[in-house]
Structures are given as structure tokens and as C-alpha cells.
Amino acid sequence: MYRSLRGGTATKSGNGRKVFFNPLNLLAVLLLAALCGLVLGQAGRKPQSSSTQSGVLVSVVVKRDDKSSANVTSKQVAVYDNGVEQTIKNLTPDPSPARIVLLVDNSLTLRADIDKLERATREFAYEIYEGDQLLIVGYDEEAEIVADWTDNAKSIEAALKGFRKKGQPHLFDALSAVVEQALSPLAGQKRAIVVISDGLDRGSKTTFEKILADLQSNDITVYTVQIPDRTRGAIRRDVPKPKQVIEKLVEGTGGLVFAIDEAGEAARGVCDELRKNRYVISYVPSSVPYGEARRLLVVGDQGITVRSKSMQPPN
């Protein structure tokens, strides 16, 4: 059974599935935020973000090229925020459990059959570590829950029979729903999305630039299990090509791309990386402009590979 994800409060749709959407609640939040900004502006003060008061926390992947398990220290890593090298307060390993959303394209013209989608998703159910949990979401025009948060592999495997193929792929809307409804409430926890898709979006109201910025603002890492491009590289007006979407999602959030035929390797690689190679960097930004997104670059000494998101949200 699918339940729709649209962000907001759960309601019942006509077919009995849960729909997570309440535009009145969203409007109230936006009005409250605008009012707070107006009050602060009238008082002659800029609204301050937590990044300017207590420093910035950034999740990164750090690996030694020799595959050694020895911890990396802050002296072996450099952070550049808006092109300016920053002083690192701490670089701390993060072996905490992860919340992982598997976002699976269920649209009609995808160049992968249902069995292949099931196999790719099933691999993750048997590779997660103790404490990790998976949420399985299928999408076409809607983003719908196939299996709610769980670590029960048998339960996940049974739920995968709910996969289907129909409609058009609203990938950006699906990502937005997952961030807003499933992952934003888990702020402070390790969060990742595995997109099983070719990267095609047809018809989303959410723009690619908006969803990428939201992922970066929430420090959510995106990995992809890439399916061959059904458009075969055709030029698209106002929207990145599917391959570019895949590349920009992972490069912008610090993830990795795997091929659909390497689903087992993808599941092991993602789960191992989230448990064994994740670190948290903390620093207080210096010489950065107020209210602007900034380019972020994190590099390691020779023999150390570091991946991170590529942008910091505005202060």
C-alpha cells in the first residue's frame, strides 16, 4: 500500500492513501516568518542564524587512500568557505546510526523493470548497520511511502511488491516531499537519500536549483543508483539533462554515483561509508558575506580523500 508524501499534515485521499499536505499550515508558517523578519527589521537588527553564533557543523566523508581505519585529525584537513580558509574547531568521527531514504523512480518509461528496481532496493535492506533505518518511497507524479521507517529486512522485502510503473517522473517534487516531511523533522541525525533513477524530471513544480539548495541547507547527502537515460541525452529546455541532474545532486551534497547493475556494491558502499567514514567538522565562519550562499571546499592532505557539499546556505 502506498501513502502519498507531499509535505505537511496527514489526511486521507479519495483512494484511502495518506496524503501529507496542508497548504493552510504552510501559509501560516510563512506569514509568521515574515512577521518575525519585519519585527527584527524595525528594531534595526538582522535575524541571526545559528551559524554566526555558535559556528557551523558540516558532515563530510573522509577516507584514507590506503584504506587505513586510523582517524583523521583536523590538522590533516582544510576548509575554505567562500574562498577563505577557516579555522577548524573540531573534526569528529560520527559513527551514529543513519536514516536513509530510498527514493525509487516508478514512472512508466523508466529503462528498468520492476524486478530490477526490487533487487536494487532489497540490497540495502540487508546491508544496513545496527540502528540504521530505511524509508522506501516510490514516485511518479506522487511521492508515496512503500515501506515506513524500519530496519526489518523481511518487512521491506515484502513491501517491495508494491512497486509499479506508471505516469511521469516528478523527481524534484518527490525530493522536496522527502526533505520536508521525512527528513527535516530528524534534524541533528545522520540523513541520506539514495535516488534510484535515471535523473529525468517531467513536470515538477519544484525547480532543480530549489531542491539542491534545500538539500545543502539541511546537510543531507544524496547517493544515486543510476539507470540508463531514457532520453539518450536529448537537450531539454530549462531543465538539466538527466545525467546532469544525477551528477549535480551527488557533487552538490557530497555523495556518489553507482550503476544499477552494481546495486550490491552500492548498498555496501553507502552503508559502510555512512557508518565508518563520516565526520563532522565545526568552524566559525570568518570574512563571509551576510545573506549569501557561499562556495564550500573541504580538502585533505595527500593520501586523504574528503567529500562534502559544495555550498553553504546564507547566514
| pLDDT, mean of each 10-residue run, the chain (315 residues) | 53 38 40 41 35 75 95 97 95 98 98 97 98 98 97 97 96 98 96 98 96 97 98 81 97 98 98 98 86 94 98 85
Helix H or strand E encompassing 133: strand 133-139
pLDDT score, position 29:
40
pLDDT score, position 302:
97
Among residues 277, 315, 270, the alpha carbon closest in space to that of 59 is found at 277
pLDDT score, position 257:
98
- Residue 87 phi/psi, 5° resolution? -85, 120
Domain 98-276 superfamily per CATH: von Willebrand factor, type A domain (3.40.50.410)
pLDDT score, position 3:
65
What is the grid cell recorded at 283?
A: 568552524
Q: How far apart are the first and last CA of the chain?
A: 42
pTM: 0.85
pLDDT score, position 4:
67
Count of alpha carbons within 13 angstroms of residue 244, beta-carbon side: 12
Count of alpha carbons within 13 angstroms of residue 119, beta-carbon side: 11
Residue 267's identity, in one-letter code, is A
Strands 77-81 and 294-300: antiparallel
pLDDT score, position 15:
35
CA torsion angle for 178, 182, 187, 189 (degrees, to 10)? -100
Sign of CA dihedral 203, 208, 213, 215: positive
**DSSP-assigned beta bridge partners for residue 283:** 56, 88
The domains of the chain are located at 9-42, 54-94+277-312, 98-276
pLDDT score, position 219:
96
Q: How many beta carbons lie within 10 A of that of residue 264, not counting itself?
A: 16
Q: Return the CATH number of 54-94+277-312, one of 2.60.60, 2.60.40, 3.40.50, 3.30.300.
A: 2.60.40
Residues 6 or more apart from 38 whose CB is under 8 A from it? none
